[in-house]
Amino acid sequence: MAYVVTEACIKCKYMDCIQVCPVECFYEGENMVVINPNECIDCSACELECPVQAIVPEKDPRSADWRDINRTHSREWPNIAYKGIVPADADEWRQITSKRQFFSPHPAPISNKI
């Protein structure tokens, strides 16, 4: 069983989860991160660290629409092992619940690294 990043991460992308992941199974997109389900060891550290509750267990019904997105994009986006630059407007997006239309399939720009 793996964990899944859901739409609450879109445009927030705080990346606190990345700092606690013992197996570095996060991959970075333009406006969110995803988890590679084949690398996740189901430790739950990331779920507890996420300030917007965007990470849920794969068995959670909220993960249904996001399992394939995590699986697909974790193969396409670059691996991220350290917290990058949080978007300047992340706090403005934090309370917005319907963000799927803002999902970007593009990888993170290289300039996002600290």
Per-residue tokens: 84: 């990058």
pTM of the model: 0.93
Query: How many Å apart are CA 41 and CA 102, to the nearest integer?
Result: 29
Nearest to 69 by CA among 12, 3, 5: 5
Residue-by-residue pLDDT tens, the chain, 114 positions? 899 999 999 999 999 999 999 999 999 999 999 999 999 999 999 999 999 999 999 999 999 999 999 999 999 999 999 999 999 999 999 999 899 999 999 999 875 555
DSSP 8-state secondary structure symbol assigned to residue 79: B
CATH architecture observed for domain 3-82: 2-Layer Sandwich (3.30)
Query: How many Å apart are CA 42 and CA 47, to the nearest integer?
Result: 10
Nearest to 73 by CA among 106, 96, 38, 95: 106
